[in-house]
A and B are shown apart, each in its own frame.
Chain A
Amino acid sequence: MIKDTVKQALEELFPVPEPVAEEAPPVEAAEGEEADAKKKEKKEEPRVNGVLERDYDTVGYHLDVQLDPGELLAAVLVLYKAEFFIESITGVDWIKEDQLEVVYDFSRYDFDQCRVVIRTRTPRTEPSVPTISKIFSGANWHERETHDFFGIKFEGHPHLIPLLLPEDADFHPLLKDFKP
């Protein structure tokens, strides 16, 4: 199963300092539904970095990876080599924690289904994440859009100008403190 190999590869890449106590069900995600749901409810404080296996039926994706912006490129490269395609990139403004989260969605074209979500957090004052548009060309527009909406700077992006907003837009509408 691609899910397990990718998980293994990602875990090898970023040895989790504090092992997340989550022995996920290996293949059949549906079996561990209740157990997983409980675990999810328990998690209140911000997550530690690492790979989590999630229940597909409740959340809609299989692997949930959180890492530092510096580790992003290595993780994306693992997915690129494992024949994933890029689904989307977006941001989430966690204003209470003073952080911006960038969420990357990846999926696969074959029937060995595995959706991977990669999250990385960056401070709200100077949001900056390395670009992955050199690996996945399609990230180009997604990153520009995220830059439009959240003001996150993608280091090394070839053409970081507003895409959906007007050329001279200096506002970021999806920030929670945005006043129209």
Chain B
Amino acid sequence: MSAPIHIRPDETFTLNVGPQHPATHGVLRVKMEMDGEYIVKAETVLGYIHRMHELMGENRTYPQVLPNLSRLDYLGALGYTHGHVLAVERAAGIEVPERAEYIRAITVELNRVASHLFWFGAFVMDLGGFTPLMYAIEDREYILDMLEAITGSRLTYCYYRFGGLYNDIDDDFIAAAKAFIPRLRKSLKKYDGLVTGNIIFRKRLEGIGPISAEMCRKYGATGPVARGSGIDFDVRKNEPYSVYPEFDFDIPVYHECDSLARYKVRMDEMEQSLRIIEQGLEKLPDGPIMPKKKPKLIKPPKGDYYQAVETARGSFGIRIVSDGTKNAYRFKLRSPTYSNMHMFDEACEGMMIMDALAMMGSLDLVIPEIDR
């Protein structure tokens, strides 16, 4: 006879999801207090890929920081560098030629589509379907090839310069982009048939991981996560910057607040991005891509500047406190996933682990961007 086993009804165990776990897409660690398959309490532990970009931003001159920004989010890097150049241009008062702004908008939207495509694949893989990832990556490859041809890199772009661009786009790029748009539209229909209508997929997402609009506000969630909760907020529309006011596009908003709503928002956003690219290529003005007169050394006047842009993951804010020298006095990066991820701890309480991880996938996490 063995000793009697005492079972406490409140007995829970701790499950460390991460930092090396297939569902966390990087080095995120969530300490979960589990009761069987149910999560009693979750605590996110960050910092496994913290590189202190903010201190680097203080120690380097403004142009030197430029490559750092694309290391934040390796999937939608152009959006982040766009934020940085816009912030410094605002601070230093540099005028940007119109052609450069158009090209920026086109490339940012291409990058956004690439990021959403990869997210789509990875998200369905989180749910156990492998094939869509391969399809999505195949489509994304076209974008990466296009961007590689003009920027010189495939993921961590350093394409924008203060006042303009490093390189003008050529006819090949325009032709490739024009060919890509109908191609992706066709693929999006295919994805809809393969994934969105799938009953298992819908059952796993409908009503799972609810995030109310009030919760979004308390945590400062932005981007597709907020738009899936019925919040009509997109920095491109609400706080127009660059040449976005000149484009005709919609902000998809869904009011279901669940993971499926967040999925649909991103899928619809790709179509809207395609519309922007289409219009941008049509309206693309001729002209220089760098301003005629530009200060050799960028020294923004003393002050405190803020610039928000809409990246693939939400509102990315950059705060530059300048003391008039060539280095920033304070260089703050407000990353969207940081706020979005913060909600996970509260939202996943009482959920089953598979639903929680499905919801984590729907938040579109890129860990280097959270940890900065």
Contacts from A to B (Cβ < 8 Å) = 40-41, 57-61, 64, 83-88, 90, 92-93, 103, 105, 107, 109-111, 113, 115, 117, 136-138, 140-141, 149, 162-166, 173-174
CA distance A136 to B220 in the complex (A): 8
- B306 contact from A40, A115, A149, Cβ within 8 A: A115
Contact B50 A87 (CB under 8 A): no
Q: Please name the residue on chain B nearest to A149 by beta carbon.
A: B54
- B90 contact from A60, A85, A88, Cβ within 8 A: A60
Contact A137 B305 (CB under 8 A): no
**A59-B305, A60-B305, A174-B54 known; A162 and B47 CB under 8 Å?**
yes
Contact A83 B217 (CB under 8 A): yes
**A139 smallest CB distance to B (angstroms):** 9
**B371 smallest CB distance to A (angstroms):** 6
**B306 smallest CB distance to A (angstroms):** 4
**A105-B334, A163-B46, A163-B47 known; A92 and B305 CB under 8 Å?**
no
CA distance A75 to B301 in the complex (A): 29
The answer to whether B218 has its CB under 8 Å from any CB of chain A is yes
Contact A174 B55 (CB under 8 A): yes
B residues in contact with A92, CB < 8 Å:
321, 329-330
B residues in contact with A93, CB < 8 Å:
330
Contact B332 A88 (CB under 8 A): yes
Segment from B141-149, B191-199, B225-233, B351-359 that makes contact with A: B225-233
Contact B218 A109 (CB under 8 A): no
For the residues of B in contact with A, the DSSP-based class is: mixed
Query: Interface digits, B151-177 against A, CB 8 Å rule (1 contact, 0 not)?
Result: 000000000000000000000000000
The answer to whether B346 has its CB under 8 Å from any CB of chain A is yes
9 A-B residue contacts at CB 8 Å? A60-B308, A86-B220, A107-B315, A109-B238, A111-B237, A111-B238, A138-B342, A141-B339, A164-B50
Contact B232 A109 (CB under 8 A): yes
A residues in contact with B52, CB < 8 Å:
173
A residues in contact with B280, CB < 8 Å:
none
Query: Interface digits, B288-332 against A, CB 8 Å rule (1 contact, 0 not)?
Result: 000000000000011111111000000101010100000001101
Q: Please name the residue on chain B nearest to A140 by beta carbon.
A: B342
CA distance A156 to B302 in the complex (A): 34
B residues in contact with A84, CB < 8 Å:
217
**A88-B332, A92-B329 known; A138 and B218 CB under 8 Å?**
yes
B residues in contact with A111, CB < 8 Å:
237-238
**B41 smallest CB distance to A (angstroms):** 12
**A56 smallest CB distance to B (angstroms):** 9
Contact B232 A165 (CB under 8 A): no
- A40 contact from B87, B218, B303, B319, Cβ within 8 A: B303
Query: Interface digits, B80-96 against A, CB 8 Å rule (1 contact, 0 not)?
Result: 00000001001001000
**A90-B332, A113-B239 known; A58 and B220 CB under 8 Å?**
no
**B133 smallest CB distance to A (angstroms):** 30
B residues in contact with A59, CB < 8 Å:
90, 303-306
A residues in contact with B54, CB < 8 Å:
149, 174
Contacts from B to A (Cβ < 8 Å) = 46-47, 50, 52, 54-55, 58, 87, 90, 93, 215-221, 226, 231-233, 237-239, 301-308, 315, 317, 319, 321, 329-330, 332, 334, 338-339, 342-343, 346, 371-372
Q: Please name the residue on chain A nearest to B318 by beta carbon.
A: A60
- B55 contact from A87, A137, A173, Cβ within 8 A: A173
CA distance A71 to B371 in the complex (A): 31
CA distance A157 to B161 in the complex (A): 41
A residues in contact with B226, CB < 8 Å:
109
**B149 smallest CB distance to A (angstroms):** 33
- A110 contact from B219, B238, B332, B334, Cβ within 8 A: B238
A residues in contact with B239, CB < 8 Å:
113, 115
B residues in contact with A105, CB < 8 Å:
306, 317, 319, 334
A residues in contact with B305, CB < 8 Å:
58-60
A residues in contact with B307, CB < 8 Å:
60
Could you list 8 further interchain pairs (A-B, Cβ under 8 angstroms) beyond the known A88-B332, A109-B232?
A: A58-B90, A61-B306, A64-B304, A92-B329, A93-B330, A115-B306, A117-B306, A136-B220
A residues in contact with B332, CB < 8 Å:
88, 90, 103
Contact A88 B317 (CB under 8 A): yes
**B242 smallest CB distance to A (angstroms):** 13
**B91 smallest CB distance to A (angstroms):** 8
**B340 smallest CB distance to A (angstroms):** 10
**B301 smallest CB distance to A (angstroms):** 7
